[in-house]
Amino acid sequence: MRPRALDRPWVRRAGVLLLDAALVSASLALAFWLRFDGAIPSAFVPVLLASLPVAAAAKIPILAALRVDRLSWRHVGANELALIFVACVAGSVVFALAALALRELGAFGVFPRSVLGIDFPISFLAVGGIRLLRRLADRVAKRSNRRESPSERRAVIVGAGNAGAQLVRALQEDANRPYRIVGFLDDNPRKVGTVVHGAPVLGPRSDLGSVVRKRDVTTILIAMPSARGDAIRDTVREARRLGVEDIQIVPGLSELYTGRVTGAELRRLEPTDVLQREEVRIGAESIQSFLGGRAVLVTGGAGSIGSELCRQVLRYGAAHLTAVDFDETGLFDLDNELRRRFPEASFEVVIGDVRDGAQMRTLLARSAPDVVYHAAAYKHVPLMEAFPAEAIKTNVVGTRNVLEAARAARCAAFVLVSTDKAVNPTSVMGASKRVAEMLVRGHAEGPTRCLAVRFGNVLGSRGSVLQTFQAQVEGRRPVTVTHPDMKRYFMVTAEAVQLVLQASAVGEAGQVLVLDMGRPVRIVDLARDVIRFYGLEPDVDVPIVFSGIRPGEKLFEELLSAEEGTDATGHARLFVARLQEPRPGWAGEVEDLVRAADEADSAGVIVRLRRLVPTYTPASADA
């Protein structure tokens, strides 16, 4: 039975350092032996014996300082070997200086300088090699004990770049991997014919058909996180033509939260991967600098935007994350996901209601976040038309509660996640978010930098039109589009959140920042793309039905063309909305609006919203 003391980290590290000391000493002895052609003269034996403790004293502290003793031997790769190389170089330099100094002082007698040049490569091979041998032994053992399972799917990886190489390596190290990789396909002619971690690069993507047929491929793994959408669309179209339905994909760079590709990062292909839209690419340096080492609080943390904010915040090195939401099940799922993705991160999930001002003040005073992202909101336009008082209680009162709590806690920044529907609003939801923006702008002074970020629809978010279309196509039901000319701005969740983070890093107090969402997309074109994603033909296999515009909706959302226009910020995707200052007495009108909501006075809510937001034109004739 293994003694429990051996499982203690300090015991293990001490044992590794003792082993390294033995390897360093043996390397120096071997260097002497090689220097003298296998016969060390008796006059140099005392020199060797005296130099052994000096070598250990010079090299072992450096190995410990660079944490070479903490490396996992099962996962030694190029990065780990590079660290060992640096440690051995530094250790050899220190030992050489010590040996030459002692030689000048006469402590070593005549120390042969050529031994130093022989000792370095031997010590590097010994210290690095023994760790690499452990990994090689594990791999050989796995391969010898492993037989191809009938349930194992034969797969080809499309993309032999860094992502593909990391993926095949991760799958090879997984004892329960479901795939047997037959090779790669890559359009780079210099890679064709090479071997990546034991898997050959069989040819370009155009050879997919012959590879699938000749090698009985049943699964295609797409590992091109930085590729253009049309490359992925072409690959998927060809795979479907060949009858391959099992298509997995390594997500885009914006979704690789850990920076590494593993088998766990693979997911099933989604419509967002192949839709014809403009992709967003931003630099991460400003976000990293802003969030690194800071405490962050996210409201609405269980929602689609809030949960992605949580992932990205941890990705960019926040010291601590607090995720707040009223959705118990959503928080439970988020907690489990973050523990799996970020096992070393510091975070907590809190059940809380932004409508409860006392709870928000207590929570922010306790957690003392540096940055607050307020994403909690009601967002479904038709529902808010039916329940306007509830929209005010969450979108206005909730924003005010969190904003005032953030200022009381002297947070460095408060960021409201707003919407394009706040521009010339025709819905209660849009108007309520416009009032929330007014609250933020009204607190431009003070220790907390308060700003709002406005953007359009997010593909794949909970309750989005994309999810509706997917459910309809999968159920072979008619796809319902409200109007043939309706257009919306779209962006995938990870991209939208990265732009929110960048806006929070560069925005100034009191600003309403607007994200450049690219070109608007016709909803009917989106519906056709989703139908084709499933290998079906629009209006042949699945009909498209126009159902009519719903209450509060408009044909075109105005995002960049705000009522007064926008100003550039120096960042290509960020603009500042030019908004008129609210008229005097608006704060009292907000109190009247809240009072009407508390009294469930729907008509009163509409009247007071129109007074607060002059550009609000209710779509409903009754309003």
Percent residues over pLDDT 90 in the chain:
31
Helices 45-65 & 78-105 angle (0-180, nearest 10):
140
Instruction: Report pLDDT for 487.
Output: 75
Q: Residue range 202-218: average pLDDT? A: 91
Indicate whether 606 pLDDT > 90: yes
- Residues 91, 63: Cα–Cα separation, whole Å: 8
Q: Token pair for residue 378?
A: 């009601």
Q: What is the pLDDT of residue 277?
A: 52
pLDDT bin (cut points 50, 70, 90) of residue 390 is very high
Residue whose tokens read 């690069």: 201
Residue from 410, 415, 357, 306 nearest 594 by CA: 357
The angle subtended at Cα 522 by Cα 517 and Cα 526, nearest 5°, is 95
Q: How confident is the model at residue 612 (pLDDT cuts 50, 70, 90)?
A: very high
Say how far residue 205 (Cα) sits from the centre of its chain.
28
Dihedral angle of Cα 501, 506, 507, 509, to the nearest 10 degrees: 120
Whole-number mean pLDDT of the chain? Answer: 83
DSSP letters spanning 157-182: EE--SHHHHHHHHHHHH-TT-SEEEE
Q: What is the DSSP track for 374-396?
A: E------HHHHHH-HHHHIIIII
Looking at residue 622, its pLDDT comes to: 46
**Mean pLDDT of the 40-59 span:** 86
In a 10 Å sphere around its CB, with 0-12 CB exposed, 13-18 middle and 19+ buried, how is residue 153 labelled? middle
Name the band, by pLDDT with cuts 50, 70 and 90, for residue 207.
Answer: very high
C-alpha triplet 418, 420, 421: angle, nearest 5°: 95
Residue 466: half-sphere exposure toward Cβ, Cα within 13 Å: 22
**Average pLDDT for 375-392:** 92
Angstrom CA distances, 135 to 5, 275, 460, 536, stand at: 24, 41, 40, 47
Long-range contacts of 100-104 (CB under 8 A, 24+ apart): 102/54
- What local confidence, expressed as pLDDT, does residue 377 receive? 94
pLDDT value of residue 577: 82
**361 burial type by CB count under 10 A (0-12 exposed, 13-18 middle, 19+ buried):** middle
Residue 395 pLDDT grade (very low, low, confident, very high; cuts 50, 70, 90):
very high
Q: How many CA atoms lie within 13 A of 237 on its CB side?
A: 12
Quote the percentage of the chain above a pLDDT of 70. Answer: 83
- What's the burial of 6, exposed, middle or buried (CB within 10 Å: 0-12/13-18/19+)? exposed
pLDDT at residue number 8: 57
| 449-455 sheet: strands from edge to edge | 347-351, 320-325, 295-299, 371-374, 413-419, 449-455, 512-515, 574-577, 566-568
Contact (CB, 8 A) for 86 and 33: no
CATH class label, 285-612: alpha beta
Cβ atoms 405, 360 nearer than 8 A: yes
In a 13 Å sphere around the CA of 348, the CA atoms on its Cβ side amount to 10
Tell me the average pLDDT across 435-451. 91
- Give the DSSP H or E segment for 451: strand 449-455
Distance CA 258, CA 264 (A): 11
Contacts of 582 (CB under 8 A, 6+ apart): 438, 441, 442, 612
Each residue's pLDDT tens digit, 131-140? 888 777 766 6
Residue type at 222 in one-letter notation: I
Which of helix, strand or coil describes residue 316?
A: coil
400 vs 356: CA distance, rounded Å: 10
The residues spanned by each domain of the chain are 4-145, 153-269, 285-612
Specify the CATH class of 153-269 in words. alpha beta
Instruction: With H, G, I as helix, E, B as strand and everything else as coil, classify residue 487.
Output: strand
Residue 286 is predicted with a pLDDT of 82
- Mean pLDDT for 1-9 is 49
If DSSP codes are grouped into helix, strand and coil, which group holds residue 473? helix
pLDDT tens readout for residues 538-562 = 888 888 988 877 765 666 655 544 5
Query: Helices 428-441 and 398-408: crossing angle, nearest 10°?
Result: 20
Q: Do domains 153-269 and 285-612 have the same CATH topology?
A: yes
Q: Which of these, 297, 454, 419, 300, lies nearest to 365 by C-alpha position? A: 297
For residue 31, pLDDT over 70 is answered with yes
* DSSP states of 48-106: HHHHHHHHHHHHHHHHHHTTGGGS-GGG--HHHHHHHHHHHHHHHHHHHHHHHHHHHHT
Q: Which residues of 213-232 are buried (b: 16+ CB within 10 A; e: fewer)?
A: eeeebbbbbbbbbebebeeb
Token representation of residue 559: 């995002």
- 3-state SS, residue 264: helix
The one-letter code for the residue type at 119 is D
End-to-end CA separation in angstroms for the chain? 78
What count of residues does the chain have?
Answer: 623
Q: Which of 79-83, 169-173, 564-568 is most confident?
A: 79-83
| pLDDT value, residue 300 | 95
CA separation for the pair 541, 536 (Å, rounded): 6
Q: Please, which residues have CB within 8 angstroms of residue 614's CB and are 6 or more apart in sequence?
A: none
Per residue in 453-463, pLDDT (tens digit) is 987 776 656 65
**Strand duo 512-515 + 574-577: pairing:** antiparallel
**How does pLDDT run across 102-130, given as a tens digit for each residue?**
777 766 667 787 888 898 899 899 888 88
Highest mean pLDDT among 60-69, 291-300, 479-488: 291-300
Q: Are 420 and 559 in contact (CB under 8 A)?
A: yes
